[in-house]
């Protein structure tokens, strides 16, 4: 009895997830390195399938575009207080952002190249950019980083990497695609400092290559797409049968059989008593029916309400792969406050992804400044101007560069601005960060506003800044100065 009780306690107190009740898939028993779980061949299948869905499935293409809109767009902010240095650095990056100066293939400008960089990451798991001479970048798609047919002396792992004992990447094995993508030919080993690489990680330490976050939605999206296609085909079939003519064989008499025992349903062209009735879609049709005949229009209930609701749920689950809220897909099903709450939640989800892309942008700007700083023949006098601004080292200059992500769109501009204003007044927020959340540069706005006001004054045009009941900053300062002078006289 005691043994039976003890055995019962062992099964009562524990994790149900590790107990095989044979009611679902058995629990896993082995923990493997991610490279063993997702081998080179399996990785290629996921990448090829995800890319095919991007080509053919509007849902996946839209999900990726929406993701890119929120996490891949940045603008540079460089401000040291020295006007000459600030102007020079901003001019350098404005110049280098053009396709002819950035891309070795001269196709993409900086914003578009980094958008495609993030697209490759989210679809294929990781991506790379090669740093070339002449301040050029070359894009490298994920599947081209692999071992291929390499047979040299370097120890290249199955992920196409040369790594040290700590797991740090020393070199990347780059390949070229063979005919029809069936094989890969080794091209060269690229030193890690010459590569900007980023990935979506799912493991803490035992992972060298990234995994697409779309991998959890691939099967779901395929099922949704096939279900929609089958329902469209069913709808087309129903449309072929627009009119049904039903005959009561007993009423016709000459058809044989018992009354009401049989019926025939025909399409737009029907046979009645040996004669043909043709329906002309371009004219008013008058049908002379025999006794017992009836004409009905065939209505299609496809897709059914249940199918539409179920598909809506499946779409929502698929969108979870990129953390996109369902109100982005269909805002009609949610209140305005729910949309704002969803956007705030989505902003939290986007923060870590933006941080990853900020590091990538920082690696890019560090490289650009380093190349110009160390190039004695560069047309940009960066080192001279930086020294005059009391910046003595390259690192100090690189740290002054900041990449600011594009902000979220306004949903209720008036109400949200009032909230920002109140937060600034009580010291909970500041105007610089409030502007950054909307993807704008406060300093740039002030500079442009100053130019606008100066021009308006030169043309004799008054411009009101602020509401009519509020004092301007200049008026408030003048009042305080006046009060101080009055106190001094007393």
Q: Give 380-412 as a DSSP string.
A: S-HHHHHHHTT--SHHHHHHTEEEEE--PPPSS
Q: Are 365 and 204 in contact (CB under 8 A)?
A: no
Among the listed residues 363, 74, 8, the one whose alpha carbon sits nearest the alpha carbon of residue 192: 363
Compute the distance between CA of residue 125 and CA of residue 212 in angstroms, rounded to an integer. 4
Mean per-residue pLDDT pooled into runs of 10, the chain (490 residues):
58 70 81 90 93 95 95 92 94 97 96 97 97 96 94 93 93 91 90 97 92 94 92 80 68 45 42 54 75 74 85 93 92 83 89 95 97 93 94 94 85 82 88 83 86 88 67 67 73
Q: Which residues touch 399 (CB under 8 Å, ≥6 apart)?
A: none
Question: Which pair of structure tokens corresponds to residue 35?
Answer: 């490279």
Which helix (DSSP H) or strand (DSSP E) does residue 131 occupy?
A: strand 126-132
Q: Please give the model's pTM, rounded to 2 decimal places.
A: 0.80
Residue 457 maps to a domain: yes
pLDDT of residue 52: 95
Whether residue 272 is contained in a domain is answered as yes
What integer pLDDT is reported at residue 302 of this predicted model? Answer: 76
Domain holding 285, by residue range, is 242-297
In this prediction, residue 172 carries a pLDDT of 97
Candidates 90, 95, 109, 92; CA nearest to 443 is 90
Task: In whole angstroms, give the CA distance from residue 185 to residue 183.
Answer: 7
The DSSP bridge pattern shows strands 243-247 and 195-199 to be unpaired
CB 125 within 8 A of CB 211: yes
- How confident is the model at residue 355, as a pLDDT? 94
Q: Is residue 477 part of a domain?
A: yes
In a domain, 478, yes or no: yes
pLDDT for the residue 480: 72
What is the length of the chain? Answer: 490
Q: What is the DSSP code string of 252-296?
A: HSTT-S-TTS------SSEEETTEEE---TTS-----PPTTEEEE
Q: Is residue 460 part of a domain?
A: yes
Given 255, 275, 297, the domain boundary residue is 297
**Residue closest to 398 by CA, chosen among 359, 376, 374, 367:** 367
Residue 267 forms part of a structural domain: yes
Residue with tokens 């704002």, as numbered in its chain? 340
Q: Edge-to-edge strands of the sheet including 126-132?
A: 136-140, 126-132, 195-199
Residue 451 belongs to some domain of the structure: yes
Match 């058809």 to its residue by tokens: 255
What confidence score (pLDDT) does residue 474 get?
A: 66
Q: Quick one: pLDDT at residue 408?
A: 76
Query: Domain tally for the chain?
Result: 2
DSSP 164: -
Kindly report the CA angle at 115 between 110 and 119, in degrees rounded to 5? 145
Place of tokens 């107190």: 13
Between CA 215 and CA 222, with CA 216 as vertex, the angle to 5 degrees is 80
Query: Residue 428 domain-assigned?
Result: yes
Count of CB atoms situated within 10 Å of the CB of 45: 12
Element (H, E) at 415: helix 413-425
Q: What is the pLDDT of residue 247?
A: 74
Residue keyed to tokens 């697409």: 212
Give the count of beta carbons closer than 10 Å to the beta carbon of residue 64. 20
Please give the Cα distance from 187 to 182 (Å, whole number): 16
| Tokens 């109400």 belong to residue | 415
Helices first, then strands: H and E counts in the chain: 18, 12
């Amino acid at each position: 009895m005691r043994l039976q009780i003890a055995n019962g306690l062992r099964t009562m107190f524990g994790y149900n997830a590790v107990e095989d009740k044979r009611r679902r898939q058995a629990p896993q028993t082995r923990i493997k390195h991610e490279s063993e779980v997702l081998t080179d061949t399996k990785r290629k299948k996921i990448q090829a399938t995800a890319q095919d869905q991007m080509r053919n499935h509007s849902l996946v293409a839209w999900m990726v575009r929406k993701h890119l809109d929120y996490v891949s767009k940045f603008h540079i902010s460089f401000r040291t207080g020295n006007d000459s240095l600030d102007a020079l650095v901003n001019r350098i990056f404005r110049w280098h952002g053009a396709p002819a100066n950035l891309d070795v293939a001269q196709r993409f400008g900086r914003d578009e190249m980094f958008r495609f960089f993030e697209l490759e990451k989210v679809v294929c798991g990781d991506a790379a950019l090669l740093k070339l001479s002449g301040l050029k970048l070359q894009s490298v798609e994920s599947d081209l980083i692999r071992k291929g047919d390499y047979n040299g002396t370097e120890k290249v792992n199955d992920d196409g990497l040369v790594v040290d004992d700590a797991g740090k990447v020393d070199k990347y094995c780059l390949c070229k695609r063979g005919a029809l993508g069936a094989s890969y030919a080794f091209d060269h080993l690229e030193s890690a400092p010459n590569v900007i690489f980023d990935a979506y990680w799912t493991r803490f330490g035992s992972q060298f290559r990234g995994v697409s976050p779309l991998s959890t939605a691939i099967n779901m999206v395929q099922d949704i797409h096939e279900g929609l296609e089958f329902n469209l085909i069913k709808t087309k079939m129903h449309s072929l049968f627009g009119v049904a003519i039903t005959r009561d064989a007993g009423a016709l008499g000459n058809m044989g059989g018992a009354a009401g025992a049989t019926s025939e349903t025909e399409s737009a062209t029907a046979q009645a008593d040996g004669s043909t009735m043709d329906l002309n879609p371009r004219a008013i049709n008058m049908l002379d029916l025999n006794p017992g005949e009836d004409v009905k229009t065939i209505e299609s209930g496809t897709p059914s309400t249940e199918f539409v609701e179920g598909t809506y749920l499946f779409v929502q689950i698929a969108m979870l792969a990129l953390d996109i809220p369902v109100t982005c897909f269909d805002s009609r099903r949610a209140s305005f406050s729910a949309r704002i709450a969803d956007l705030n939640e989505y902003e939290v989800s986007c923060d870590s992804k933006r941080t990853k892309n900020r590091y990538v942008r920082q690696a890019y700007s560090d490289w650009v400044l380093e190349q110009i700083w160390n190039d004695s023949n560069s047309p940009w006098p960066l080192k001279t101007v930086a020294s005059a601004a009391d910046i003595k080292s390259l690192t100090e200059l690189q740290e002054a560069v900041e990449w600011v992500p594009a902000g979220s769109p306004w949903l209720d501009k008036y109400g949200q601005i009032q909230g920002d204003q109140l937060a600034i007044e009580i010291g909970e927020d500041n105007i610089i960060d409030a502007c950054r959340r909307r993807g704008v540069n406060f300093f740039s706005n002030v500079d442009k506003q100053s130019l606008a006001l100066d021009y308006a004054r030169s043309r004799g045009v008054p411009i009101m800044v602020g509401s009519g009941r509020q004092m301007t900053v200049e008026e408030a300062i003048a009042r305080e100065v006046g009060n101080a002078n009055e106190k001094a006289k007393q």
